[in-house]
Amino acid sequence: MSSQANKYLKFGAVTVVILLSLGYLAYTGVQDSKSYYVTIKELQGMGDGAYSKRLRVAGNVVPGSIKRSGTRVDFMLKEQDRTLAVSYTGTEAPPDTFKDDSQALADGSFGRDGVFHAKQLQAKCASKYAPQPGQPGATPTAQPGKSMTQNQNSSSSGMAN
């Protein structure tokens, strides 16, 4: 083989190794960042498959179950008639909306100890920020038997004069 052909062969081999390495890193990165959303009922019925996957579980925080210990927060999630013990040890403090009866979404893994070990936690309190009927910003509701345009016309007709 000539030295020119040898250089092309080495360059091609290095290129193939780099491309394979990048492909492997991309594949494992996608696998690590992928999480499955499951309900508490589905999680408790998954068996051994639940221990090896990154999961997301949502539910309402059981009142009185929040126990804080430094950066760790232990609490219970409830969905219908099922509960799940959750231990959050993320790097950020739980959100301000994380309170009793709030909706929470935990992202992490299910341990063989029966506790869901969360690394990320999201919470919301939907009723706190929703406008109440009759307040400014609330969507008007149509009266039975009338269309929305009839409703608007009847309410604006009293404003003339």
Contact criterion met (CB below 8 Å) for 61 and 68: no
CA atoms of 15 and 9, how far apart (whole Å): 10
pTM of this structure: 0.57
Which of 79, 67, 76 minimizes the C-alpha distance to 37? 79
User: Please, what is the end-to-end C-alpha distance for the chain in angstroms?
Assistant: 100
Q: What is the pLDDT of residues 142-157, one digit of tens each?
A: 444 444 444 444 444 4
**Token code pair at residue 61:** 């925080």
Mean pLDDT of 126-147: 51
Share of the chain above pLDDT 70, in %: 72
DSSP H/E element including 14: helix 3-33
Q: What is the pLDDT of residues 3-33, one digit of tens each?
A: 888 888 888 899 999 999 888 888 777 655 5
Contact criterion met (CB below 8 Å) for 140 and 151: yes
